[in-house]
Amino acid sequence: MMEGAPDLNSFKETLKTIRSSDLPHDEKILRLKELADRAISFSTGKEKSIRVQLLMLANQCISDIEKLRQANPQRSEANNSASSEKKGASNVELKKNKQNDSPTFSQEAENYVRNLHPLISSTSFDNIAGLAEVKKIVITQIIKARENVELARMFGISGRNILLFGPPGTGKTSIAQAISNKVQYPLLTITPSDILDNRFGEFEKNIKYLFHGAVLNSPIIVFFDEFESLATRRTSSNSSYMKRAVPEMLRQMTDMRKQSESKVMIIAATNNPWDVDDAMLNPERFDTKIYVPPPDVFARTELFRTFLGGLKVADDINYEELGSLSDGFTGADIKYICKRAAEEVFAEVVDKNEIRAINQDDIRRSIEKSSTSVNSDLLAKYAKFMEKFNI
């Protein structure tokens, strides 16, 4: 397997090597399992684009394992039989002691959620630059519905499940955090690496734990980040692993909707809503779908103020000009622009041993060197998606 500190390319090369090898059936399955585990573990804390690719690679490993088992069912059955015989002697004793020695499913589910450390966010709507229309929809359809439950029920507004979609770096996570802060519900952020598991049936079990545990720990907001990686379109996926997990999530969301008094909110965020399973986009699952667009000129101006705040900057910084110069840039882009400008000035100060502030020209140069995360083709895809769902 891989030696030293792995990176994305080494994971890909290892998968390629395993696939092309003449390893025995069982050994190849073992290597694929190990690689999937390492990819899922290594994805934790990585930037979003890398994390998604690692989780996709883990999914490919699991699909390969399933194909190997299907191609050689006798071998798999033999392994299962051997495993069953090995466990058989202790099964009676295990069943006898299970009630006393193991926590109940509800206890396990409750602990599962607690161990993911849901917390009330400190981010408020005031901390989010721009997005006036998004804030208006959230406050009217979500916050007010929570504050006026009976009145909202008269008009068929549940204020429960929200799908936030839009280009990367536009503030979807911040919106979820601000909702948590406003309604004072702990926010439980779920990324694919939190619940993905390559062992058969474990992913589905984690989904059950998550939803059941959320009810037991309510009030709570369950926030699915990178939702397209957890609820991938089954029609475009060859993985039976994903084809089992998505229906389980659909069942759990449907069951939760039936609990009229449930104080569990579901928020999902995705950059690629067209990759989410069609059944998941049904209004019965997500009754509110909100497009989070790139920031307008006012928001970009405020973002520069925010990201340059606390740094040593010149007194004559023209934030309005910076907002105008950065058309098409997202909040994440602007954060990086400010970071790069600060790093370049710091390098100069260290080199010349002469302290100076970050000035307008420094930030202009950083803007000129940067490329936007959003292009016209991507915006057209969002427009088409919104047209399809009358958003």
pLDDT given for residue 4 in this prediction:
47
Largest CA distance in the chain: 79
pLDDT above 90: percentage of residues in the chain: 48
pLDDT given for residue 68 in this prediction:
80
Cis geometry, peptide bond prior to residue 219 (ω within 30 degrees of 0): yes
Sign of torsion over alpha carbons 174, 175, 180, 183: positive
Q: State how beta strands 264-270 and 288-291 pair.
A: unpaired
Which residues contact residue 63 at a Cβ distance below 8 angstroms, ignoring those fewer than 6 apart? 238, 239, 240, 241
pLDDT given for residue 260 in this prediction:
57
Residue 95 has pLDDT above 70, yes or no: no
pLDDT given for residue 238 in this prediction:
62
Q: Which domains does the chain have, with CATH numbers?
A: 8-71 (no CATH), 125-294 (3.40.50.300), 297-373 (1.10.8.60)
pLDDT given for residue 363 in this prediction:
97
CA distance 99 to 74: 35
Confidence of residue 98 (pLDDT cuts 50, 70, 90): very low
CA distance 31 to 33: 5
pLDDT tens, residue by residue, 25-81: 888 888 888 888 788 777 766 776 777 788 778 777 877 887 787 776 555 444 444
* Segment 99-110 mean pLDDT: 70
One-letter identity of residue 84? S
Confidence of residue 119 (pLDDT cuts 50, 70, 90): very high
CA distance 45 to 381: 29
Residue 121 has pLDDT above 90, yes or no: yes
CA distance 23 to 31: 9
pLDDT given for residue 120 in this prediction:
95
- Identify the bridge partners of residue 187 per DSSP, sorted by sequence position: 119, 221
Confidence of residue 118 (pLDDT cuts 50, 70, 90): very high
- Which one has a higher pLDDT value, 368 or 13? 368
pLDDT tens, residue by residue, 233-266: 877 666 666 677 888 999 998 888 777 567 899 9
CA distance 338 to 371: 14
Residue 86 has pLDDT above 70, yes or no: no
- Which one has a higher pLDDT value, 260 or 360? 360
User: pTM of the predicted model, to two decimals?
Assistant: 0.73
CA distance 297 to 303: 10
Instruction: Give a three-class secondary structure readout of the chain.
Output: CCCCCCCHHHHHHHHHHHHHCCCCHHHHHHHHHHHHHHHHHHHCCCCHHHHHHHHHHHHHHHHHHHHHHHHCHHHHHHHHHHHHHHHHHHHHHHHHHHHHHCCCHHHHHHHHHHCCCCECCCCCHHHCCCCHHHHHHHHHHHHHHHHCHHHHHHCCCCCCEEEEECCCCCCHHHHHHHHHHHHCCCEEEECHHHHCCCCCCHHHHHHHHHHHHHHHCCCEEEEECCHHHCCECHHHCCCHHHHHHHHHHHHHHHHHHCCCCCCEEEEEEECCHHHECHHHHCCCCCCEEEECCCCCHHHHHHHHHHHHCCCCECCCCCHHHHHHHCCCCCHHHHHHHHHHHHHHHHHHHHHHCCCCCECHHHHHHHHHHCCCCCCHHHHHHHHHHHHHCCC
Sign of torsion over alpha carbons 150, 152, 155, 160: negative
pLDDT tens, residue by residue, 194-227: 887 766 678 888 999 999 999 999 999 999 998 9
pLDDT given for residue 85 in this prediction:
43
- Written as six digits, the tokens of 175 are 């919106």
The torsion angle over the Cα atoms of residues 319, 321, 324 and 330, rounded to 10 degrees, is -30
Residue 203 φ then ψ, to 5°? -60, -45
* Segment 331-358 mean pLDDT: 95
CA distances, 48 to each of 106, 169, 261, 377 (Å)? 32, 10, 35, 21
pLDDT tens, residue by residue, 259-307: 756 789 999 999 999 999 999 998 888 989 999 999 999 999 999 999 9
pLDDT given for residue 6 in this prediction:
63
Count Cα atoms within 13 angstroms, Cβ side, for 249: 30
* Segment 103-107 mean pLDDT: 82
pLDDT given for residue 239 in this prediction:
62
pLDDT tens, residue by residue, 305-340: 999 998 999 999 999 999 999 999 999 999 999 999
